[in-house]
């Protein structure tokens, strides 16, 4: 089942679905990932020892539920979180726009995307951003068997570990806003104390135009919000500079998810 953070968003989504634009929450568009066996041989090579420090490991945040949808509402900060997939040129453009505005973002990478573009892991971390796990193939994880779902989580975790020295700071389930209790348990078994949801859906994966992406975010964002966005879409690239300007005008600072929740 698709879940939306509020009625307005749900109505917009229904409209988009009627137009045939909506594929799934946290879009499957641009998806890699023809279903098929996870190929162990497709994993990128190990990072040479000593090349860079290991990325931070996941950590349990005291006082937070297993599934986190937003941070504290009393501080002027937000987290922009991206589904990591699609043309790396759009990813680089989004990261560059964020960095120009001194914003930090969180990228939940799909494992098969890292297989195709292993350099993106380091690019994200080198920009001061956070990197996490968005499953190996971006299947509808809540509907998979226990073994299949666990393999989707650990498949991506292994890629991240090889590339960065860490399984990534966060796990976000694929094709759903919220994880089932089973998927939460499997994420914890794989080493992620929390599952990262969101409370603001940009719906950028429906390609509604940059102005609509900006409206979808600015209409519902508030202090502590976690915003769902996607690499791989031109609208998102176009929306980033004006969106970041509007956040600055509201004095909402875009920080990593860990900073949102811990400082």
Tokens of residue 228, six digits: 């769902």
CB under 8 Å to 132, separation ≥6 — which residues?
Answer: 106, 107, 108, 109, 160, 168, 169, 170, 171, 172, 196, 257
Q: How far is the CB of 250 from Zn ion (least distance, A)?
A: 26
For residue 178, CA distances in Å to 51, 92, 196, 202, 247 come to 36, 28, 8, 16, 26
Q: How far is the CB of 27 from Zn ion (least distance, A)?
A: 6
For residue 206, CA distances in Å to 5, 28, 142, 230 come to 16, 10, 21, 10
Q: How far is the CB of 11 from Zn ion (least distance, A)?
A: 22
Q: Which is nearer to Zn ion, 33 or 43 (CB)?
A: 33
Question: Where are the extended beta strands (E) located within 89-242?
Answer: 105-109, 130-133, 195-196, 200-201, 226-230
Q: Which is nearer to Zn ion, 237 or 252 (CB)?
A: 237
Residues at the interface with Zn ion (CB under 5 A): 26, 83
Q: Which is nearer to Zn ion, 164 or 177 (CB)?
A: 177
Q: Which is nearer to Zn ion, 88 or 223 (CB)?
A: 88
d(CA 82, CA 229): 5
d(CA 165, CA 257): 19
Q: How far is the CB of 219 from Zn ion (least distance, A)?
A: 21
Q: Which is nearer to Zn ion, 82 or 150 (CB)?
A: 82
Distance of CA 198 to the CA centre of its chain: 9
Q: Which is nearer to Zn ion, 83 or 137 (CB)?
A: 83
Q: How far is the CB of 134 from Zn ion (least distance, A)?
A: 6
Q: How far is the CB of 16 from Zn ion (least distance, A)?
A: 16
Residue pair 258/130 in contact by the 8 Å Cβ criterion: yes
Cα dihedral: 119, 125, 128, 134 (round 10): 110
Q: Which is nearer to Zn ion, 156 or 252 (CB)?
A: 156
Q: How far is the CB of 213 from Zn ion (least distance, A)?
A: 16
């Amino acid at each position: 089942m698709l879940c939306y953070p509020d009625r307005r968003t749900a109505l917009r989504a229904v409209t988009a679905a009627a137009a045939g634009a909506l594929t799934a929450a946290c879009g499957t568009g641009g998806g890699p990932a023809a279903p098929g066996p996870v190929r162990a041989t497709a994993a990128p090579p190990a990072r040479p020892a000593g090349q860079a420090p290991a990325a931070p490991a996941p950590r349990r945040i005291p006082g937070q539920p297993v599934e986190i949808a937003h941070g504290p509402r009393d501080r002027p900060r937000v987290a922009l979180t991206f589904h990591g997939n699609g043309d790396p040129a759009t990813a680089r453009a989004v990261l560059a726009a964020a960095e120009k505005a001194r914003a930090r973002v969180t990228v939940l990478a799909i494992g098969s995307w890292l297989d195709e573009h292993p350099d993106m892991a380091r690019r994200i971390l080198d920009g001061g951003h956070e990197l996490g796990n968005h499953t190996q193939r971006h299947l509808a994880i809540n509907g998979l068997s226990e073994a299949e779902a666990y393999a989707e989580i650990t498949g991506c975790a292994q890629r991240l570990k090889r590339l960065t020295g860490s399984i990534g700071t966060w796990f976000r389930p694929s094709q759903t806003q919220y994880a089932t209790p089973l998927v939460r348990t499997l994420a914890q078994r794989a080493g992620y104390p929390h599952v990262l949801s969101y409370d603001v859906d940009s719906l950028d994966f429906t390609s509604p135009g940059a102005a609509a992406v900006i409206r979808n975010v600015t209409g519902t964002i508030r202090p502590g919000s976690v915003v769902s966005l996607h690499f791989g879409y031109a609208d998102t690239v176009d929306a980033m500079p004006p969106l970041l300007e509007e956040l600055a005008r509201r004095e909402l600072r875009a920080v990593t998810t860990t900073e949102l929740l811990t400082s």
